[in-house]
Amino acid sequence: MRQVAVVGAGMTRFGKHQDRSMKDLAREAVENALRAAGMEREAIEAAAVGNAVAGLITGQECIRGQVVLREMGIGGIPVINTENACASSSTAFHIAWLYVASGMYDTVLAVGMEKLFHPDKKRTFTAIGSAIDLDIADEFARQMSGEQSGGAGESRSVFMDYYANLARQHMARYGTTREQFAQIAAKNHTNGSLNPHAQFQTPRTVADILAAPLIAEPLTRMMCSPIGDGAAAVIITTAEKARQFTTKPVFVRASIIGSSQEHAADAPGIVEKTSRKAYSMAGISPSEVQVVEVHDATAPAELIIYEELGLCGPGEGGKMISDGVTQIGGRVPVNPSGGLLAKGHPVGATGVAQISEIFWQLRGEAGKRQVAGAKVGLTENGGGVLGGENAVASVHIFTV
């Protein structure tokens, strides 16, 4: 396998863009990535385009990538569409990486794009909620909601009930507190205030987070990722060709995707197994990672992912946030972009947006949210739920 490097990244601001089409959003992201790489669009030999729910929101199916790229003058090349829940565009990146690493193509584009806002909010929540086994959807919703009041699928995503259930289990087992979850949300909203691409750019305190309306115990609204629209794009090429475009390439050391499977309750889950494979591929240990972007669909999700990635031991996630370890300036900053909680979560765009953030961090281009001296970065992106865990997980590791 050849060594692969990222040479350009671009994205839109995430948020409510009801006056903009997905074509328009994707164009902005792709053109920004091309500009950053100093590359003409004719240099792109193949493209992988991630999108999760356009078919359910707008009705556009089957050829989403071709529809979007053709209008910006990118055509006549292989365009692969990837749909893999919230990991749709990290999956697109994985395919783009495989194209280059295998020697099939030298320069490939990976795009993530999504429009979630719709006048009928129920349509949005129904689309998001389709990332489960629909044969058992009613039973899943009942199990996840527990004693919570109704509204999942109409006033909130059913996944908020799923994450609330995980949070309650973690609290009962390890003594984790609502205040620790609020510390994560406050950290990410504060980080988002430093990110011009973030949907929410207002710093928040722990008191603000705890005072927000309750969504599903123990989750307040500010502990939950918002719906949003947006797009992100990156360009990858061979390590040799990268030097033609930049003096600061970011190398892909690992690209791993896993899926859920039956396992004992005390056996490693999908994120732990996928990250172990990524660490092995990259030849590093968790202690060597210096900046991380994770799938904080909720604040408790981020805390649990600390443990699943091996950044701390089981049950130590609460102490990790309370000790400031994951703050910008801490030992291993997590979600300096603001994460899904503040940067936003247009689901099909999230994976490549995470990769874009790590690209900028490792190049020292992250502005006020820059992690000093970062040379090793990791992204973790999950999607859907099957059997009590993510249906898909992807982990990527990058170095300079």
Residues tagged active-site = 86, 345
Give me the DSSP letters along 60-71: --S-HHHHHHHT
The two tokens of residue 324 are 């400031």
CA dist 26 to 201, 204, 225, 338, Å?
22, 30, 22, 21
Indicate left, alpha or beta for 273 from its phi (over 0: left) and psi (-120 to 50: alpha): alpha
Helix (H) or strand (E) holding 7: strand 4-11
Q: What is the largest CA-CA distance in the chain?
A: 59
Give me the DSSP letters along 251-278: EEEEEEEEE-----TTS--HHHHHHHHH
User: Which residues, 6+ apart, have CB-to-CB distance to 399 below 8 Å?
Assistant: 250, 251, 253, 282, 362, 375, 376, 377
Please state whether beta strands 214-216 and 219-220 pair in parallel, antiparallel, or not at all (unpaired). Answer: antiparallel
| Residues 194, 202: Cα–Cα separation, whole Å | 9
- Asked whether 332 and 321 are in contact (CB, 8 A), the reply is no
| Residues 157, 40: Cα–Cα separation, whole Å | 40
- Asked whether 105 and 45 are in contact (CB, 8 A), the reply is yes
Please state whether beta strands 376-386 and 389-399 pair in parallel, antiparallel, or not at all (unpaired). Answer: antiparallel
From the list 137, 156, 112, the residue with the least C-alpha distance to 297 is 156
Helix (H) or strand (E) holding 163: helix 158-174
Q: What are phi and psi of 365, to 5 degrees?
A: -115, 25
